[in-house]
Amino acid sequence: MNFDTGTVTFMILCTSLVMLMTPGLALFYGGLSGKRNILGIMMQTFVSLGITTIMWILIGYSLCFSGGEGGIIGNFDWAFLKTIPFDNPYSGADGKYPEYIFIAYQMMFAILTPALITGAFVNRVTFKAYLIFLVVWQLFVYYPFVHMVWGGGLLAEWGVLDFAGGIVVHATAGFAALASIFYVGKRKDTKSPPNSIPLVAIGTGLLWFGWYGFNAGSQLDVDAVTTIAFLNTDVAASFAAITWLIIEWVREGKPKFVGLLTGAVAGLATITPAAGFVPLWAAVLIGISAGGLCYFAVQLKNKWGWDDALDVWGVHGVGGLLGTILLGVFASAAINGQAGLIEGNSSFFVKEVVAVLGAAIYAFVFTYVMLIVINFITRVKVTVTEENAGLDESLHGEKAYDEGAL
């Protein structure tokens, strides 16, 4: 086959960038965790690279993208990728690159999404229960929403758009995280400080870098929309970071580095659904909105006593919700063919709101019920002794640092 060399290279690069986000997330979460739980949270993130890849090749890609037009889930026609030749052109990009690149690109999204949830229940969940969680949550939450939004399913036919995962990734993961913390309850030690803020900074840098592949690559081609998605991503992250920094500085009297980093991630999550549909000025407003609303969502979480340890709900859940709604507001027909509320298309706005709220509610309810069921199979919550000792040593028999370090 005669593929477009430039587009092939671009999509391989974007796939690699999205893969890098999972180790980046592990470093981000690992740095924010207490020093007795660094490896436990990083293990939960890294293990998705293995488990999710196996699932994706066996049945995941097929359930997401094979058949099921207008439905909730696909079929098993492409299970094991057995009927897809390695040089089969991907039809979604006019055959410019092999479908195997698209398979790998989407697989990286599947790897990252459940890993996002883990920051909420750091040092409270057993590893066995998490492995079951990882498998079941993808089968019954992630795969259906990928199919419905990106695989030609129910929401796609209804006219719902999600450029790179405000609904599919961030809203589902963020509200699943909220359900998880309600189920597992509070930590015994909620005052545990981050063990390494420099590690958080490295993780943020890798996430920010990888997000260019996450968003720009979601155009699945190389054109003008690709470039605006790239720039929108950086602009929203930057404005959100500075907005968060200023608000926290005014309220607490000092500029906080962790706040700057968290604000950047909030901006990245919030621009994700809209990156390839809105003009640059809208990305500025989305970034400012993300920095402000996500900051106050975290403060509200603290006020209400929800022990979302690493603010997954406040950053990803609220960010995904906000970004999808603002996509409905700011989408411009001149960018990617879809008009939003400000251009007079109120029906598209309503569809976006209904879709993201429905996804959030479903993810929350299913996750809570799933944890109850998993607890009948194996204990979900760690014991008080395990939690006090830290999961690194009690569950994994390892320590992140030599004795005396930190």
> Could you tell me the end-to-end alpha-carbon distance of the chain, in angstroms, rounded to an integer?
56
Crossing angle of helices 127-137/346-377, nearest 10°? Answer: 140
pLDDT of residue 191: 79
CB-CB neighbours of 16 under 10 Å: 15
State whether residue 139 is helix, strand or coil.
Answer: helix
In sequence order, what DSSP letters do the residues of 198-251 get, joined into one string? Answer: HHHHHHHHHHHHHHHHHHHGGGSS-SHHHHHHHHHHHHHHHHHHHHHHHHHHHH
> Does CATH number 1.10.3430.10 belong to domain 5-394?
yes
Determine contact, residues 98/90, Cβ cutoff 8 Å: yes
Instruction: Return d(Cα 204, Cα 176) in angstroms, integer.
Output: 22
Task: Give me the tens of pLDDT residue by residue for the chain, a chain 406 residues long.
Answer: 789 999 999 999 999 999 999 999 999 999 999 989 999 999 999 999 999 999 999 999 999 999 999 999 999 999 999 999 999 999 999 999 999 999 999 999 999 999 999 999 999 999 999 999 999 999 999 999 999 999 999 999 999 999 999 999 999 999 999 999 999 999 988 878 899 999 999 999 999 999 999 999 999 999 999 999 999 999 999 999 999 999 999 999 999 999 999 999 999 999 999 999 999 999 999 999 999 999 999 999 999 999 999 999 999 999 999 999 999 999 999 999 999 999 999 999 999 999 999 999 999 999 999 999 999 999 999 999 999 999 999 999 999 987 654 4
Is 66 strand, coil or helix? coil
Q: Assess contact for 363 and 140: CB atoms under 8 A.
A: no
Residue 404 pLDDT: 58
What's the predicted TM-score (pTM) here? 0.96
Task: Give me the pLDDT at residue 403, please.
Answer: 64
